[in-house]
Amino acid sequence: MSLQPARLAPTVLWAILLPAIVVLLSACGTLPQETRLRGTGDLGVVIERADGRVQVVETSGRSVLARVNGLGDLSHASVVFSRDGRYAYVFGRDGGLTKVDLLTASIAGRVVQGGNSIGGAISQDGRIVVAQNYEPGGIKAFDADTLELIADVPAAYGNEGRRSKVVGLADLPGNRFIYSLFDAGEIRITDLSDRGKPVTQTFAAGRQPYDALVTPDGRHYIAGLFGEDGLAMLDLWQPEKGVRKILSGYGRGEQPLPVFKMPHLRGWAVAGGRAYLPAIGRHEVLVVDTDTWQEVGRIAVKSQPVFVMARPDGREVWVNFAFPDNGWVQVVDTMSLGITDTLQPGRAILHMEFTPRGEEVWLSARDDNRVVVYDTKSHRQVAQFDAASPSGIFFTSRAARTGF
Amino acid sequence: MKPPPLLVHVAVFIGAALIAAYASAAEEGGAPRAGSPRYRELVHIVRQDCGSCHGLTLAGGLGPALTPGALAGKPADSLVATIVGGRPGTPMPPFVGIVSEAEAGWIVDQLMRGFPADGGAGAPAH
């Protein structure tokens, strides 16, 4: 046993160590920047599709707060939000599902769940995230906290073990999910209320459903059909009645015009008791009464409509178009069903997103590498910022809406 | 006898004009020269707008994959016909009027070799 007294470090060393300790301890006392308190109600993400990156944005000051990298192939990416608006679940084309923490601007989880994916949905209770896949055709359900696989539901059809591409996925009340099978011409509802034991119902829909929407109340599901002149509608309050065709023969037997980009029905325009739907192969927006499901009008527009979206108050509907007319946007007045404005916000307008109460709309101008912000009262541009090849814009207000 | 200097000038001028006209005719609707604005435009269209259905990496989506592996062994002339005339009964639209047949041939050739990377849309036209 040594009786030598413990040796203290030389005075010079203490002169260095003590201030260092003081600085480190005081740093622990102040919160790191990312945990500074803020709400999430005015946040959103902009997809920078070519770079596998998202911008975290806020709509109150119209600014980019941060960028998050490493999300894979984001062509045709879509996003759903956790019910508290903190996490964005980003579905990439390459099957990647990434959970992005908007407050810390970091990746909270990531799985590569499919080979070729087209989007996703989140359950009514916010606990289940579902991806819809082209390859392998089907849907997969994940725990929203951990991204652990809960259920794998193949879109198998026929007797030869074929699997269909899945489109038009939407959440329904009761932790159910509804989707369409492009190759099989079916609508299916998978009930995940008993998480481990998915139960699936099947309905015949029509030829080549390409996308779908659920009405804001979750009652009606409408699938657009590429291979038929009409749309398939299912009343989810009385599903036993089966699919009903609406707007049959809207093409009036005319030769359809070429469709250079499939319309998107998600992001719907249901306003004032009417649904506004892009015609396929016609340069028209179809207007249908949501009580009778009869056509009440059609609006001639500049080109093949892609997104037909209602301003949150329903007073206007904004329409963008397929290549090569994707530099145009038109505004429809929902009282007169006339076009009130024809705008050129930029080159290749891929997506539009209204602020939660609709005073502004953000548009992605892919070929100008920027996002432009328009005032929806004056229809004038009020701001813009750089974004690399932007496509989808998604605000956290979607977290509280069925079908988003 | 030396030709008069004015005649030489005119001959050279006409010759240069003919060469220029020929070169621009080759570009107009023909295979684009690497690095030309039309080259850039066609690469951008294929990557971005064909990419809406076939994927930005051309690995497939609603439409089939257009990678060299996926296209190997397929006859080039039927692929050119599909681009120009579309494929009835499927979502593949005809691109007649947007690309010429020669440009479609060039696109097929490039797809089979591994399509060039997109350099963006370029500066605004106006």
Per-residue tens of pLDDT for chain B, all 126 residues? 556 666 666 666 665 555 554 444 445 578 899 889 999 999 999 999 999 899 888 999 999 999 999 999 999 999 999 999 999 989 999 999 999 999 999 999 999 999 999 988 887 765
Computed on alpha carbons and rounded to an integer, the radius of gyration of chain A in Å comes to 25
Residues 6+ apart with CB under 8 A from A240: none
- For A133, name the nearest residue in chain B, comparing CA atoms only: B61
- CB-CB under 8 Å, A262 with B62: yes
Kindly list the distances between the CA atom of residue A383 and the CA atoms of A56, A371, A374, in Å, as whole numbers in the listed order.
17, 9, 7
Q: What is the pLDDT of residues B48-59, one digit of tens each?
A: 999 989 988 899
CB < 8 Å to A134, chain B = 60-62
Residue with tokens 């037997």: A253
Q: Which of A50, A227, A324 sits opposite B56 (nearest CB)?
A: A50
> Which residue on chain A is closest to B50 by alpha carbon?
A260
In the chain, the amino acid numbered A242 is G
Tokens of residue A339, six digits: 């076009």
Asked if this assembly's ipTM is beyond 0.90, the reply is no
* Rounded Cα gap, residues A204 and A232, in angstroms: 9
pLDDT digits (tens, 9 = 90+) for A318-367: 999 999 999 999 999 999 999 999 999 999 999 999 999 999 999 999 99
Residues from B contacting A (CB-CB < 8 Å) are 44-45, 48-49, 51-53, 55-57, 59-62, 86, 89, 91, 93-94, 98, 118, 120-121, 124
Size of the A and B interface in Cβ pairs below 8 Å: 72
Q: Retrieve residue A170's tokens.
A: 């939407």
Distance between A288 CA and the closest CA of chain B, angstroms: 25
B56 contacts on A by Cβ (under 8 Å):
49-50, 73, 75, 93
Q: Best residue in B41, B46, B52 to probe A by mutation, most A CBs within 10 Å?
A: B52
